[in-house]
Chain A
């Protein structure tokens, strides 16, 4: 079974609108971390936001917020006020366990922002 599922291969959003990228995860470990990365066409992996399994509040970083629904095992990324520069691949990833463990990635969602 996939540990991280991103069901939207591609998304379009109008500039200045908000968009939600879906991510569901599967783990039986009570301690885990969830990450979102952005990969622009230049190829580098850019860290966006992190949510720990014990964090009580949803993580926010500027225009990025993570809608963490623990019971549903979902960790959706919300981008507010989309910009043309947000066009990229977005990956959801999870680290399981309390220690420094490998990241497992979803297959990604390609977001295109339209002017």
Chain B
């Protein structure tokens, strides 16, 4: 099925460990982004990319790295996990459609750092 695929769906990390959250889309969308969702805070933008080779920081980029080597993939790396990074992470991609720029979200990754 076309859409945005995030893996894993759940992950538990120990403080200081590193990991990569995967995000892939098969809709040939140029724009991709990562958000984190915390209770009472809505979704906050971490990083985004307007095309392969181009990334930029969002509202809460500290502690996270991204790269965009292909149109399809936009992985999010946590270099040294901290309990403050416990959150639900969403990847989204976007392109122009009949309703303007439509955004498609992945199903989310629930990350717990202990």
Contacts and interface: CB of A to CB of B under 8 A. Distances in A.
Contacts of B103: 35, 47, 103
A44 B43 contact: no
A102 interface: yes
Contacts of A106: 42
Interface of A: 4, 9, 33, 35, 43-45, 47, 50, 52, 91, 93, 95, 100-108
Contacts of B88: 43
Interface residues of B, number: 28
Interface string B37-61: 0001111110010100000001000
Q: Which of A9, A101, A103, A107 has the most CB of B within 10 A?
A: A103
Contacts of A105: 35, 42-44
B44 A45 contact: no
Given A95-B101, A100-B96, A45 B90 contact: yes
Contacts of B99: 50
A5 to B, nearest CB: 11
B66 interface: no
